[in-house]
Amino acid sequence: MKAKKSLGQHFLRNASILQKIVDALEVDENDIVVEVGPGHGELTKIITAKKPKKLIVIEKDEELATLLCNTFTNIQIISGDALENLPKLDLSNNWKLIGNIPYYITGRLQRIISELPNPPLQTVLLIQKEVAERISALPPKANLLSSVTNGWATPKYLFTVSRRNFYPIPKVDSAVILLLRNNITANDKYFITTRALFKQPRKKAINNLVDFLEIPKPQAEKIFISCDLPLNIRPQNLSSTDILCLSSKL
């Protein structure tokens, strides 16, 4: 089936890499697994061999969703947009997420996952290499995407996947990233604070809070001092623990 440019489709054809991606998720018979963008079912077939307790796949392409329905009879197949359907799923128990993600939805998908009441226990994503590097960045190279992610998970860059392993061949290389749910008790205030801190990354973090959360400068200074943070610190030098401290005092 021909790839559709409008959906950002690039199908991974390398069997050994597909196996490595599924192995990274550490699927067992007690797991509920959600796969985003299954395509022709290349990853799906390997996941089903692991015999998880339940497998849910979300495919936006109606033709591919029909193909999956005709190929797999023991899984739940949702035909629709993952960005819209993922928050609707009843995933109250521990669950895991996997997918070959179209480049253009990576940022929004990360935001949606971070806002779920019960984020996945483990997440393995095949995404654009540059985005994977941004997600896994640590201070002094932290950024909005890495800081939002660290509010619920600890990211680990696993390995690079050459563009030559895809059909059609994309313009950039990809990478596989692992996200392990952490114990940070982030809430909405954490994510609001994070977005304010990185609104203008080149500015001092305190000035971003003052400007975008409309906090009086003296109050902001007291908050930074109480968190043992220098008043001239830049956003990229803040850890998730620092942001958590700041948000808890706002």
pLDDT for 209: 95
CATH 3.40.50.150 domain range(s) in the chain? 5-181
What is the reported pTM? 0.91
Instruction: State pLDDT tens for residues 125-183.
Output: 999 999 999 999 999 999 999 999 999 999 999 999 999 999 888 899 999 999 999 98
Residue 88, CA distances (Å) to 82, 196, 240 in order: 10, 28, 28
Nearest to 139 by CA among 217, 58, 197, 56: 197
pLDDT for 187: 85
Topology at the third CATH level for domain 5-181 = Rossmann fold (3.40.50)
**Is the Cβ–Cβ distance between 190 and 207 less than 8 Å?**
no
pLDDT at 99 over 80: yes
DSSP 13-55: --HHHHHHHHHHHT--TT-EEEEE--TTTHHHHHHHHT--SEE
pLDDT for 77: 96
What percent of the chain has a predicted confidence (pLDDT) above 70? 96
pLDDT band of residue 4 (cuts 50, 70, 90) is very low
Stretch 200-215: mean pLDDT = 95
Instruction: State pLDDT tens for residues 66-91.
Output: 999 999 989 999 999 999 999 999 88
Topology at the third CATH level for domain 188-248 = Helicase, Ruva Protein; domain 3 (1.10.8)
On average, the pLDDT of the chain sits at 92
CATH 1.10.8.100 domain range(s) in the chain? 188-248
pLDDT at 29 over 60: yes
Angle 98-108-144 from CA coordinates, rounded to 5°: 105
Handedness of CA 4, 163, 78, 191 (dihedral sign): negative
